[in-house]
Structure 1
């Protein structure tokens, strides 16, 4: 969720009530890129700002490869000189001896060539690592900025696991390919070219024999790559599903335990894990077969080259050292071909990952901000819903025609059964969702004419679903207002009746809350979120049964603190326990997205309608079917 979506002075967490309720369908399968060329071109576009560095990488790769492929040829000279010296001694040639000085010079040259090749290879890797990480850094930042601009319905319709998989796994896949596979691809292609040139310089006939094995290698690799690609795609799909399952089970592990569904959760995990295992080992096994097959084909070429090379040596067409060099080249020839084929497979997977990331970047964003936004420096808190129409699905309208007028300082309670549209009303007010028709105004200004951040800064929220982050208690309270002083933080905690329990903790206000804030009780969490809202000092309050998680005695204190906080402020209270909203200035009774009754507590009871039934059901033990939530 974006910073602007949480920019309102939030006292508790927010979770949209859309069709997915924050937990949509499992992660979609990672398919083969639908538009391989287009996606690849778009991915390459991210490398464009680094073309100078990429040119340097290419030059370093060329130099490293040149020195590498020259080495066997140079070594061949030493082999030839040794062979000639030995044969001269064997044949009794006068003065025949091994020229160790010449051989020593060759060895020094070889050491120099290897060092230069390694040095240029190091520089190549260093430059490419910088390019890859900067590129992925830009991509991650763009994805993060995009997520900040996406509407809440995007997050409601997808699991957290699927979104995280795209932002982490898929981006990491792109990063790995750019940093490792791309340099390997460049080096492999250059090595193939360099080796062919050197082989031709030794013997065109032997080169032809070596190259004849190439079509066989291509056919073998291509057929294997196609099969392994299917398994790699399946592996990514199962990994996405596993992420989604683990994320859901971890965040809801208490509910799983309460309903005794541990075994079912384990069974589902084992089922997905087994599918991931099957896809994973098949993908790795099939892709691993490439090298043995390449070695087999390479050995066939090696035998043929050795036989033909021996014949050419006996005829005096080439030197014995050239045969040794050529055999080394045949070894160097097959390895980069296998690497290129493997990298081609990796690039397929990477482009599929890139397409998934680009799908996020191409998602429809929130409605654009007004060209000339209106600001309310001193908001009064007059709120009006004028013929508002809305539905999460355009074909299924939830709110038909809502008309509400709220004056400054009024406390508005919103009640109704589950699914009545209470939280939806708040979401529309905060512009988490856009109205389908009609308008909502604050102090006479249409909220669509304001920046979302400015609008949300007018509100303070204390929700039943608390949200605290990993950090100190002081930081969590101070989140309500930037630049708050120590005295203001402590005063807010005292007003919320949180100061006492905070000081009983070993670290006091410096106590670190873990990621789930599970090292304090649920009631204490709520006290901290209330303190945060008190510190924020907003113009309009939104309270979603803020005291539901505390004990009765603490509830009395909190209710007093809230009553004090609500003085002079417009307050929207989503009520679950109707006894807490008796003193509200106006009670809106909602059902099926429509306000069916409105008035004070006494007026609605006197009418004997829907509200009276709801209220009486809470104190008579009946009417469970009409339970308020």
Structure 2
């Protein structure tokens, strides 16, 4: 988090200035209290009233600067967390497909919720308190030196003893915090997984067993949280005990100074209030140090989270802006493990401007073939090239290709935003794309402003497919990849969609399907049949 605090250094300086002035007013209040006590003991009523008025003004100013302190801390926290979340999201989106899929959605959500909130509460808030307490300790110690240097030394030595406790327990605190975060990440991943499978749960009537599974993971995460909190509580109570013992010794010494006539009543009163002001910060400072220690690993993990980017790997890659001639698979082999190859000795050629149909039953590697072309995976053997350039040498295939998947993902937003994906595309082009895929009834301003619902549930399956194809056409990419676009559609919608796809001009189309009419199949330039090995 240091990186984000440095980015907002001016606000940190502003906070320090506010804290300095606020602390000075706080100390002034204590001295004014002592003056009132001495004047009262002297019986000087008139002067006591004047000092009381000054005291009231000092208290109000102290409260004002306390409020300014809270506002500034909130501002710094807001800026740091906002920037951190933006960096986390950018790092996540820039991951390659394979790296992204190494974690569940719940684990990514955990970074933006549990981990960021933990850093905010345990790190940022502790930093603010450390700054405040450090300034208070400096000013209060200076005031105690002015009152009595012996008392100042004894106070500083004794009251700093609780600060050593968190450091002694550092390994235990780190282990407990890391265990809690790990179990919480697993819990959120499972929770997300269970909710995604809601229909499956209802379909198979397994509510009872899923509830039991949830309780299992919930218990693990909550037990880890309890263990972490109990360890923190033990460290805090030890620090508090040492602090109160030290406080007792200091008060006894202050009383001794009064007996020895080194202090008058007002000075004793000031000293005790000063020690009170020093005692709490030093107890709290121990807790702040404990918090920062406990999230040390998390801080490194979250702020260092930028994925396995190409720059990190040190690979210089080329950008392709144009598809000139052909895409080739040369003796390509691929397997997820050493035992069984999904694809074996595949040699194919996709020429620019032609339409290709890839057929075959489930398990023949149709989707895997496309994922290899998109660089989601690297071939176990062989080469995939575009215009005689190995695709491993280029940054991404998405510069010239767009893929439409079977699941037809749509954001819960307007039809316009689902088509543009929040980019600046004119309504004229949107309406034209909708007409191309035979969605003319939505090709108007009212239609574009419609909210599609969660997952596009306000549209039929066929309409969702065509919306996704319209979205792909708007990218103006030269290669259009359609992964099972006809799946889960009725006969009428299959025929309509086949017609729309075959009517598309100026695209190299690679379509994967196991459902297609004979009439439509004959209109493709080439049909590639994959068989189970």
TM-score by length of 2: 0.84
Number of aligned residue pairs = 530
Where in structure 1 are there 5+ consecutive unaligned residues?
Answer: 1-42, 86-97, 597-629
Pair 61,202 (structure 1): closer, same or farther in 2 beyond 3 Å: same
> Which stretch has the larger CA shift, 328-337 or 536-545?
536-545
Aligned-pair CA distance for 1:384: 1.8
Distance 2:480 2:259 in 1: 97
Kindly indicate whether residue 144 of structure 2 is the aligned counterpart of residue 188 of structure 1.
no
For residue 513 of structure 1, give the secondary structure of its aligned residue in structure 2.
coil
Contact 2:130 2:285 in 1 (8 A): yes
User: Where does residue 512 of structure 2 map in the other structure?
Assistant: 574
For residue 456 of structure 2, give the secondary structure of its aligned residue in structure 1.
coil
Contact 1:217 1:297 in 2 (8 A): yes
For residue 530 of structure 2, give the secondary structure of its aligned residue in structure 1.
strand
Compare relative contact order (CA 8 Å, sep 6+) and give the higher one, 1 or 2: 1
Aligned-pair CA distance for 1:161: 1.3
Aligned-pair CA distance for 1:210: 4.4
How do 1:533-612 residues align onto structure 2 when only pairs under 5 Å count?
A: 533-534=472-473, 538-565=477-504, 569-577=507-515, 582-583=521-522, 584-590=524-530
User: Where does residue 159 of structure 2 map in the other structure?
Assistant: 214
User: Where does residue 510 of structure 1 map in the other structure?
Assistant: 449
Distance 2:424 2:463 in 1: 23
User: Where does residue 49 of structure 2 map in the other structure?
Assistant: 104
Aligned-pair CA distance for 1:352: 2.4
Aligned-pair CA distance for 1:354: 1.9
Once the two structures are superposed, what CA deviation does each residue of 1:563-590 show, in whole Å capped at 9, x if it has no partner?
Answer: 222x564322212236567424433333
For residue 150 of structure 1, give the secondary structure of its aligned residue in structure 2.
coil
User: Where does residue 183 of structure 2 map in the other structure?
Assistant: 238
Aligned-pair CA distance for 1:396: 8.3
Pair 570,369 (structure 1): closer, same or farther in 2 beyond 3 Å: farther
Contact 1:171 1:354 in 2 (8 A): no
Contact 1:60 1:120 in 2 (8 A): yes
> Which stretch has the larger CA shift, 56-65 or 183-192?
56-65
Aligned-pair CA distance for 1:434: 4.5
User: Where does residue 403 of structure 1 map in the other structure?
Assistant: 347
For residue 111 of structure 1, give the secondary structure of its aligned residue in structure 2.
helix
How do 1:56-75 residues align onto structure 2 when only pairs under 5 Å count?
A: 56-75=14-33
Aligned-pair CA distance for 1:195: 2.6
Aligned-pair CA distance for 1:168: 3.9
Aligned-pair CA distance for 1:343: 0.9
> Which stretch has the larger CA shift, 431-440 or 390-399?
390-399
* Aligned with 2:434 (options 480, 493, 504): 493
Contact 2:140 2:278 in 1 (8 A): yes
Pair 140,304 (structure 1): closer, same or farther in 2 beyond 3 Å: closer
Contact 1:496 1:534 in 2 (8 A): no
Aligned-pair CA distance for 1:46: 4.1
Contact 1:225 1:341 in 2 (8 A): no
Contact 1:406 1:412 in 2 (8 A): yes
User: Where does residue 611 of structure 1 map in the other structure?
Assistant: none
Aligned-pair CA distance for 1:82: 1.5
* Aligned with 1:162 (options 85, 88, 107): 107
Aligned-pair CA distance for 1:427: 1.9
Kindly indicate whether residue 405 of structure 2 is the aligned counterpart of residue 424 of structure 1.
no
How do 1:426-505 residues align onto structure 2 when only pairs under 5 Å count?
A: 426-435=370-379, 438-444=382-388, 446-447=390-391, 452=396, 455-479=397-421, 483-486=425-428, 488-500=429-441
Aligned-pair CA distance for 1:148: 3.5
For residue 56 of structure 2, give the secondary structure of its aligned residue in structure 1.
helix
Distance 1:460 1:44 in 2: 40
User: Where does residue 200 of structure 1 map in the other structure?
Assistant: 145
Contact 2:484 2:512 in 1 (8 A): yes
Pair 273,224 (structure 1): closer, same or farther in 2 beyond 3 Å: same
Aligned-pair CA distance for 1:163: 2.0
Aligned-pair CA distance for 1:64: 2.6
Pair 480,498 (structure 1): closer, same or farther in 2 beyond 3 Å: farther
Kindly indicate whether residue 208 of structure 2 is the aligned counterpart of residue 263 of structure 1.
yes
For residue 386 of structure 1, give the secondary structure of its aligned residue in structure 2.
strand
User: Where does residue 357 of structure 2 map in the other structure?
Assistant: 413
Pair 196,225 (structure 1): closer, same or farther in 2 beyond 3 Å: farther
Contact 1:480 1:532 in 2 (8 A): no
Pair 323,542 (structure 1): closer, same or farther in 2 beyond 3 Å: same
Once the two structures are superposed, what CA deviation does each residue of 1:253-295 show, in whole Å capped at 9, x if it has no partner?
Answer: 1122223332222212212222233333444455446666666
Kindly indicate whether residue 290 of structure 2 is the aligned counterpart of residue 345 of structure 1.
yes
For residue 295 of structure 2, give the secondary structure of its aligned residue in structure 1.
helix
Contact 1:481 1:535 in 2 (8 A): no
Aligned-pair CA distance for 1:468: 0.7
Once the two structures are superposed, what CA deviation does each residue of 1:277-314 show, in whole Å capped at 9, x if it has no partner?
Answer: 33334444554466666665555455544544444334
Distance 1:355 1:304 in 2: 41
User: Where does residue 471 of structure 2 map in the other structure?
Assistant: 532
User: Where does residue 623 of structure 1 map in the other structure?
Assistant: none
> Which stretch has the larger CA shift, 285-294 or 170-179?
285-294
Where in structure 2 are there 5+ consecutive unaligned residues?
Answer: none
Contact 2:25 2:59 in 1 (8 A): yes
Contact 2:405 2:484 in 1 (8 A): yes
TM-score by length of 1: 0.73
Distance 1:384 1:224 in 2: 60
Contact 2:236 2:287 in 1 (8 A): no
Pair 71,221 (structure 1): closer, same or farther in 2 beyond 3 Å: farther
Structure of larger gyration radius: 1
For residue 414 of structure 1, give the secondary structure of its aligned residue in structure 2.
strand
How do 1:298-317 residues align onto structure 2 when only pairs under 5 Å count?
A: 298-317=243-262
How do 1:323-362 residues align onto structure 2 when only pairs under 5 Å count?
A: 323-361=268-306
Kindly indicate whether residue 314 of structure 2 is the aligned counterpart of residue 375 of structure 1.
no
Aligned-pair CA distance for 1:130: 4.2
Contact 1:209 1:301 in 2 (8 A): no
Contact 1:496 1:531 in 2 (8 A): yes
Pair 307,168 (structure 1): closer, same or farther in 2 beyond 3 Å: closer
For residue 360 of structure 1, give the secondary structure of its aligned residue in structure 2.
coil
CA RMSD, aligned part only?
A: 3.7
